[in-house]
Structure 1
Amino acid sequence: MAHDIRIVTEAELRGAVGLDLDTVRVIEEAFGALSDGGVVMPPVLSMDLAEAHGEVDVKTAYIPGFSGFAIKVSPGFFDNPKLGLPSLNGLMILFSAQTGLVEAVFLDNGYLTDLRTAAAGAVAARHLAPERVQVAGVIGTGVQARLQARAAHLVRPFERLLIWGRDAERARACADDLSDMKCDIAVADSPADLVRDSQLVITTTPARAPVIEAAWLHPGLHITAMGSDQAGKTEIDPKALVQADLYVADRAAQVEKLGELRGAIAAGLWDRGAPVELGDVIRGRARGRQGQTDITICDLTGTGAQDTAIATHVMARLAGRDVGAVIRA
């Protein structure tokens, strides 16, 4: 029997869903579901294509109670800008959790991944950053740097934003793009200065050597690291994970292989077993920040549960709306 499949483009998706507190709530619930148990989430399928200076990740998850589940394919080819092409693209396929039939194809070019990643940063800040954040800092100058700044401001409305990147011109462009935010914005002279002056720091780089040193940690600091999502990447000095009062993972099994914890284990610095997961903090099954002077780190490698959550959220937003092309398959 034939059934309808909705095909939605990036432009149409941008008109249907954006970065707001509702999106943050949806991603927060996905983390909570991971803590509750019953989620089926296989390991990330990840290919490092060194010859093409590219990578491809495939993520998916089934969440009990959700009407559908998504499979997301996310290529990143980082020489593309030299060809006048975006470095990131990809798509999500949403399947019915009852029948397994394809319900929608979201040709988002990475937009939904960007949204759910930024929302995850907001969730981490909501549960782990100090209640009062006067200064936030973002290390990195790309699309995610911009979105992470906006997402953090939703849950911790800081008064000042610092930005640092290896390319000062790109850092200034990033600051200009965020000039509509209701806070002062400046380009930091160095990452050390940025960390020193901030209570909330977000790293958004593809770095393969630490951009934050353990010596820079200070009381009352929270760091969300979201750039290390493949073996070989690292943004934080492994010693910092041990020195922090609390290190939290989006998924323990992933950070051991793809995230910041991999470096700490390889260096023989980590002997504490599996780290606390963000979902457990959200559900109150594990302690989060205990006081304003705690130093906390959250390691976000990206989960298939987030992709299923954002895809089903989009489908709900599209219900009853004439958006996208419908084909009968």
Structure 2
Amino acid sequence: MEVLDGVRPGEAANADPSKPRLPAPKLYDYDTIVSKVKPNKELTESVEAAFAELAKGKVDVPLPMHIGIAETAAAGPGDCHIKGGYIEGAPTWTVKLACVSFYKNVEKGLPAGSGVFVVCDATNGGPKAVLHENRYLTDMRTGAAGAVCVKHLAVKGAKSVAFIGTGVIAESMARSTATVYGFEQGYGYSRNIDKATAFCDKMQKELGYDFKACDSAEEAVRNADVVFTQTPGGEWVLDLAWLKPHATIIASGSDQPTKNEIPPEVMKKAKVITDITAQCVRVGEVRSAVAAGVMKESDVHAELGEIINGSKKGRQGKELIVCDLTGTGAQDAAIGSYVMNVLD
């Protein structure tokens, strides 16, 4: 592009206050978003479609950016994850900033996480809206991905589901899955039995099927056809011997290279599906399995979108499956477009 006197064509107009400008973005606060955007089948299907487009190469989705905030007298500790993407043909594209692990906030009565979506107009490039979602939409899009995994990977007739880790993401997984699949029995495990009990009571009331709080992860896993893991990722959360031969594990706790929920022997035995392989080899369960020497990147069976598209086969009978979810900008782009349709 030709540059004259240090100014690119069109930029001079932006510097002139008398010239037309793109409109300022709308700001939607957390309360507005929570009141108007709920888990539902349409939202889940928008994320499903995004995975399908991703597998076709029709989503521009860069690898995530991570900013570590070191603990000092003036800051941190904490982390910031930046993801985004554009789905070909969509009217908007999205960049998301998610801040997590600011644990000093808790002692001040504030949440340890926060976040915003910036939804931009794909025609003129300008920001349409800033969604001050405080991770509500991030957790919802993660839950929608889990629901898509259940729809396409669970064994036929699956009746029971376990949640290892019973925080906000587990709730989102349970609610979103209920939009596309009906379980008969749920199990919840947390190191804090009171938290597991509260989760199970809440989900049973909301979703209408029985939940049991378990004293051990083993009890929950042994009883489950589908196992969701969504813990901080600091240690392995299950054992191969606990799993049913046809279990589906949906692992979403490993979003950094330091995290690992699933033991190497499970990854070695399972058919491994990823949300996006290039990312999972950097930060997901696949990364840990490759580092342990039990699999290679080429051992990944498929990306989730390839199974949705039918370009690769998903479940074939009673086999063990692990789906490694690290979170993609395609999901954020899909949720951004969906939410704008609801709010705008």
Q: Shorter-chain TM-score: which interval? A: over 0.9
Task: Tell me the equivalent position of 1:163.
Answer: 188
The 1-side partners of 2:193 and 2:334 are apart by 36
Task: Tell me the equivalent position of 2:203.
Answer: 178
Pair 1:147 & 2:167 matched: no
2:34 to 11, 14, 24: 14
The 1-side partners of 2:161 and 2:70 are apart by 34
Deviations 1:85-127 (A, max 9, x none): 1121110101111211111110111111111111111001100
Task: Tell me the equivalent position of 2:138.
Answer: 113
Query: Offset at 1:179?
Result: 3.0
Q: Is the 8 A contact 2:274 2:323 kept in 1?
A: yes
Query: What TM-score, normalized by structure 2, do the two folds share?
Result: 0.89
The 2-side partners of 1:110 and 1:308 are apart by 15
2:118 to 93, 118, 125: 93
Deviations 1:125-170 (A, max 9, x none): 1000123121110011211111112222332211111000111111
2:330 to 278, 300, 305: 305
Deviations 1:264-311 (A, max 9, x none): 1111111351621000000001110011x1211111100011111101
Query: Offset at 1:212?
Result: 1.5
Q: Is the 8 A contact 2:80 2:99 kept in 1?
A: yes
Task: Tell me the equivalent position of 2:15.
Answer: none
Letter in 1 for 2:237: V
The 2-side partners of 1:87 and 1:138 are apart by 22
Matches within 5 A, 1:275-294: 275=300, 276-291=302-317, 293-294=318-319
The 1-side partners of 2:260 and 2:70 are apart by 17
Query: Offset at 1:78?
Result: 4.4
The aligned length equals 317
The 1-side partners of 2:291 and 2:275 are apart by 20
Query: Offset at 1:229?
Result: 0.6
SS for the counterpart of 1:208 is: coil
Task: Tell me the equivalent position of 2:152.
Answer: 127
Q: Is the 8 A contact 2:286 2:297 kept in 1?
A: no
Deviations 1:39-82 (A, max 9, x none): 21111001344533421100011211111111000001241222
Q: Is the 8 A contact 1:133 1:156 kept in 2?
A: no
Q: Is the 8 A contact 2:162 2:187 kept in 1?
A: yes
The 2-side partners of 1:176 and 1:53 are apart by 33
SS for the counterpart of 2:28 is: strand
2:284 to 230, 254, 259: 259
Higher RCO, Cα 8 Å, sep 6+: 1
Query: Offset at 1:217?
Result: 2.7
Letter in 2 for 1:302: G
SS for the counterpart of 2:232 is: coil
The 2-side partners of 1:90 and 1:318 are apart by 18
Task: Tell me the equivalent position of 1:70.
Answer: 94
Query: Offset at 1:204?
Result: 1.0
Q: Is the 8 A contact 2:91 2:337 kept in 1?
A: yes
**CA RMSD after TM alignment:** 1.4
Q: How many percent of aligned residue pairs carry the same amino acid? A: 36
The 2-side partners of 1:317 and 1:217 are apart by 40
Q: Is the 8 A contact 1:238 1:261 kept in 2?
A: no
Q: Is the 8 A contact 1:252 1:274 kept in 2?
A: no
SS for the counterpart of 1:131 is: coil
The 2-side partners of 1:302 and 1:108 are apart by 17
Task: Tell me the equivalent position of 2:17.
Answer: none
Letter in 2 for 1:229: D
Q: 1:70 to 1:99 in 2, by over 3 A?
A: same
Pair 1:194 & 2:220 matched: yes
Deviations 1:23-48 (A, max 9, x none): 10010011011011132111100134
Q: Is the 8 A contact 2:39 2:179 kept in 1?
A: no
The 1-side partners of 2:70 and 2:323 are apart by 28
Q: 1:152 to 1:38 in 2, by over 3 A?
A: closer
Q: Is the 8 A contact 2:46 2:338 kept in 1?
A: yes
Pair 1:239 & 2:239 matched: no
Letter in 1 for 2:87: I
Letter in 1 for 2:340: M
Matches within 5 A, 1:222-233: 222-233=248-259
The 2-side partners of 1:274 and 1:306 are apart by 24
Query: What TM-score, normalized by structure 1, do the two folds share?
Result: 0.93
* CA radius of gyration, larger in: 2
Gaps spanning 5+ residues in structure 2: where?
Answer: 1-19
Moved over 4 A (4+): none
Q: Is the 8 A contact 1:131 1:156 kept in 2?
A: no
Task: Tell me the equivalent position of 1:59.
Answer: 83
The 2-side partners of 1:130 and 1:169 are apart by 31
